[in-house]
Structure 1
Amino acid sequence: MWIVFALLAALATAIVITLSKAGIKNVDSSLAFAIQSVLILLVSWGVVLFQGNLPDVTKIERRAWLYLLVAGVITCVSSLLSFRALKLGNASQVSSLDKVSLVFAIILAVVFLKEKVNWQVIAGASLMAIGAVLIAMARQ
């Protein structure tokens, strides 16, 4: 089932990139992200309330809070950088280069989470990185 959710997330991300690029045409990229962030906040807490998970907030361990808070700050920085890149570049090129995050995620997972990788993961990540760079460098 995780594959279905991952593919749906990929589709949603593609739609977000397309709509965001259209939306920031005459809007400052930081302002556009701030507008989207308000909606992200409302929808995500709405889902938590709908699912009845609000009481679980008190059960989160201190270390998990730290990880989640730092990840939240980095998410904001990442999104601000992505919106700025979208403002300046083509959506297809920005989006493809953004996907090089896969390579970084694999490296970080190996180093910090002690995840194991095999030759298929290394080959696939290498091919994706090469493809992303080829798309990003393509002339329009």
Structure 2
Amino acid sequence: MNVFQSLVSSWQFWAVLSALAAALTAVFAKLGVKGVPPDVATFVRTIVILVFVSSLLFVSGQFSIVRSLSRRSVGFLVLSGLATGASWICYFRALDLGKAGQVASIDKMSVVLVAIIAFLFLNERLSMLATLGVLLISAGAILVAVAD
């Protein structure tokens, strides 16, 4: 396996790209939500994502997989979609009212909440070092949010 294949098959590579995309999302959304009702901004963003992901599925030939999903998978994906929609609506409202850096820092408290929920419901355990990281993320997010 060459370096490129190794890179694109690692979760770390995709997580870093996700973080970069999320950072751009906050900045672009803050610019885009100015003078636009947050629900309208969420609608436009959702349409763009629908077109983008539909195109990706079409090009990669993955549309046929949708029909073979189990009811359980569909159910949890629907719940995930509802949670995502709620998150986006709240996020755009917060961006409309607050500074992008502060809003994004509180939004990233989701990392802490995921760790707690995964511990409670998925029986995922964190090492002492990972627990320290979660505590530092909490402290950092709070400091960025309250700083002016």
TM-score (norm 2): 0.91
* SS of the residue 1:117 aligns to: coil
Render the CA deviation track for 1:31-81: whole Å, top value 9, x for unaligned. 011011101001111111111111111211111110000110110000000
Counterpart residue type for residue 63 of structure 1: R
Of the three residues 86, 106, 109, the one matched with 2:115 is 106
Unpaired runs of 5+ residues, structure 1, are: none
Residue 67 of structure 2 aligns to a residue whose secondary structure is helix
Q: Which amino acid aligns with 1:26?
A: G
The residue identity in structure 1 corresponding to 2:15 is A
- The equivalent of 1:130 in structure 2 is 139
How much is the aligned-residue C-alpha RMSD, in angstroms? 0.8
The aligned residue for residue 85 of structure 1 is 94
2:70 aligned with 1:61, yes or no? yes
Q: Distance in 2 between matches of 1:31 and 1:96?
A: 23
1:32 and 1:59 map into 2 onto residues whose CA distance is: 33
Structure 1 Cα separation of the partners of residues 119 and 103 of structure 2: 26
Residue in 1 that maps onto 2:19: 10
Residue type at the aligned position of 2:125? K
TM-score by length of 1: 0.96
Query: Which residue pairs with 2:46 in the alignment?
Result: 37
What corresponds to 1:95 in structure 2? 104
Aligned twin of 1:73: 82
Give how far 1:116 is off: 2.0
Q: Give per-residue Cα distances to partners, 1:76-109, cap 9 Å, x unaligned.
A: 0000000000000000000011111001001111
Distance 2:81 2:98 in 1: 25
* Runs of 4+ more than 6 Å apart: none
CA distance in 1 between counterparts of 2:58 and 2:99 reads 37
Unaligned runs of 5+ residues in structure 2 are 1-9
